[in-house]
């Protein structure tokens, strides 16, 4: 049910390729409320990442709708409050959604501080001194203040991902999207990244997280989505999903990963 309290309402979202022969997303309907920590799990190829990337339009859906703050972002043109047809400002939309990638995607030619201040300065037109002050405060929160002048290559995977998270936070997004944030990390570095994410969840940040970390899903998530074959198969609290799975697909999946 679409309620007015939802931050993002996804309705019948579809992403089809090759004339409909390949259905990466096949009718996903879900509401994301403010403060939700939604964890998306499922076997590989189930459309989890496509779903996440559709939310900030890195993937263009071929059908359905996504309402963000009540505005349909899948329409390139829409009528605004005055009844005028205006073009959807994708850049403005993406500022409200921070995204963290599996492979960090830090900018290798810039220092950590420059990585974090570029978008606030160029996109939000924040004064440089203010942007740097904010960036350093954020870096301090994840224990990397002393690495501000280092280049990404000088950091470990876990450090890079922590930087990537605070780089997205520097834009003060309303929701954070995580696309398998720990999948490319060495096992001993997974903890430090998950800790940052837990911290974030505690502060009430709305989060959508595609992950294979079942422990994280159980501990931090308040809602868990299980996807398979481009469809939302089961949704519920972590207790329901992990403790009392209903569908055979989910039971089968949990038997393999737990």
Partner 1 sequence: MDSFVKMENFATVAKYSSLFAQGLLVTVLLSIFTVMIGFCIALVMALMRLSDIRPFRFLGIGPDGYQRESGALAVISRFNPVSFIATAYVEVLRSTPVIVQLFIIYYGVFGIFDLPNFTMFGFIKFPRFFPGVVALGMNSGAYLCEIIRSGIQSIDGGQTEAARSLGMSKVQNLRYIVLPQALKNILPAIANEFVVIIKESAITYTIGVQDIMSAVNAVRGAAFVITEPLLVATGIYFCLCFPTSKLIAYFERRMSHGDKR
Q: Give contact residues for partner 1 (rule: CB under 8 A).
A: 16, 18-20, 56, 58, 62, 91-92, 94-95, 97-99, 101, 103, 105-110, 118-119, 122-124, 151-154, 164, 167-168, 171
Q: Where are the extended beta strands (E) located within the chain?
A: 6-17, 22-33, 37-41, 63-68, 71-72, 77-79, 85-87, 97-100, 175-179, 206-210, 223-228, 231-236
**With respect to partner 1, which residue has the nearer C-beta, 75 or 122?**
122
Q: How far apart are CA 40 and CA 25, in angstroms?
A: 14
Q: Are 165 and 197 in contact (CB under 8 A)?
A: yes
C-alpha dihedral sign at 35, 107, 103, 10 = positive
Shortest distance (Å) from residue 47 CB to partner 1: 18
**With respect to partner 1, which residue has the nearer C-beta, 170 or 227?**
170
Shortest distance (Å) from residue 20 CB to partner 1: 5
Shortest distance (Å) from residue 136 CB to partner 1: 18
**With respect to partner 1, which residue has the nearer C-beta, 163 or 214?**
163
Q: Are 47 and 230 in contact (CB under 8 A)?
A: yes
**With respect to partner 1, which residue has the nearer C-beta, 177 or 224?**
177
Shortest distance (Å) from residue 162 CB to partner 1: 15
């Amino acid at each position: 049910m679409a309620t007015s309290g939802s931050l993002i309402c996804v309705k019948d979202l579809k992403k089809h390729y090759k004339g409909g022969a390949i259905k990466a997303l096949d009718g996903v309907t879900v509401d994301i409320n403010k403060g939700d920590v939604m964890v998306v799990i499922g076997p590989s190829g189930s459309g989890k990442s496509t779903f996440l990337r559709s939310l900030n339009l890195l993937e263009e859906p071929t059908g359905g709708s996504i309402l963000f703050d009540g505005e349909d972002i899948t329409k390139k043109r829409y009528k605004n409050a005055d009844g005028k047809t205006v073009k959807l400002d994708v850049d403005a939309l993406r500022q409200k959604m921070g995204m963290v990638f599996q492979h960090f995607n830090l900018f290798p030619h810039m220092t950590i501080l420059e990585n974090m201040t570029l978008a606030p300065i160029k996109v939000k037109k924040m004064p440089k001194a203010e942007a740097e002050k904010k960036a350093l405060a954020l870096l301090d929160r994840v224990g990397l203040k002393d690495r501000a002048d280092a280049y990404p290559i000088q950091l470990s995977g876990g450090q890079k991902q922590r930087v990537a998270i605070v780089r997205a936070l520097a834009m003060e997004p309303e929701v954070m999207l995580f696309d398998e944030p720990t999948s490319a990390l060495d096992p001993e570095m997974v903890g430090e990244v998950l800790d940052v994410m837990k911290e974030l969840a505690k502060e009430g940040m709305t989060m959508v997280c595609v992950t294979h970390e079942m422990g994280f899903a159980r501990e931090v998530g308040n809602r868990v989505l299980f996807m398979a074959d481009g469809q939302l198969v089961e949704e519920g609290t972590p207790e329901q999903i992990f403790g009392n799975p209903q569908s055979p697909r989910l039971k089968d999946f949990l038997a393999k990963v737990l």
